[in-house]
Amino acid sequence: LEEGRLLSFDIPLKNTTTKPLNIISLEPSCGCVNAVVINGSIGRGDTGIIRVTIDTTGKIGKVMKTIEVVTDISATPFVLKLRALVKHSGNGVANAGAIFHGDCRKCHVGTDIKSKQGEILYNAVCFMCHKNYSTYKHLSKESLEKSISDGITNTSMPGFAETNGGPLSPEQISSLIDFLKKQK
């Protein structure tokens, strides 16, 4: 799959329960995923369809997204896991900074970002892609600062520093580094 493309596909869902079910809602994990129900009333033993479109703009490498499927027969949604290997398009530098704009912004930047620091900032901006923050404590402060500020070449990690088009001030980046270095 090439970076910068829209990937559309249908997911068939077979009802293996003993009753008819209705898909009530779909909750994608990210703004780059659009999911719509094509056939959401599924009789016992029948198959429904969910149509999914993923925008690969700014993504390189292994990408994992989820869609929570809420039905009328379970209080707990079931989760569809979508995985893709996105290759560089060869058309210049991949725009990893696309996450700071449009539909991506609401998940990757959120709202009121300027007032956030440390752990609160990490949870708002970083946690979506970097769930296990303790894996970064072994990195030097310099390495963390370079990765957060400038991004990581040939990955989907953009530079988050304002000087690189990102949303974070130098003080916010320092607060993230302090938070990461204090983890056990």
Contact status, residue 136 vs residue 144, Cβ threshold 8 Å: yes
Cα gap 164→152, rounded to integer Å:
12
Q: Is the pLDDT of residue 97 over 80?
A: no
pLDDT for the residue numbered 80: 96
pLDDT band at 16 (very low <50, low <70, confident <90, very high): very high
Least confident of 38-42, 77-81, 151-155: 151-155
**pLDDT tens readout for residues 41-95:** 999 999 999 999 998 877 777 888 899 999 999 999 999 999 988 887 666 555 6
Q: Please name the amino acid found at residue 75.
A: A
pTM of the full predicted structure?
0.64
Bridge partners, 64 (sequence order): 83
Closest CA to 58 of 111, 122, 108, 132: 108
DSSP of 142-182? HHHHHHHHHB-TTSS-B--BGGGT-SB-HHHHHHHHHHHHT
The pair phi, psi for residue 123, each rounded to 5°, is: -65, -35
The domain segmentation of the chain, as residue ranges, is 6-86, 96-181
- The three-state secondary structure class of 48 is strand
Other CB atoms within a 10 A radius of the CB of residue 18 amount to 8
State the chain's maximal CA–CA distance in angstroms.
58
Domain 96-181 fold: Cytochrome Bc1 Complex; Chain D, domain 2 (1.10.760)
Least confident of 87-101, 124-138, 155-169, 170-184: 87-101
| Region 6-86: CATH code | 2.60.40.10
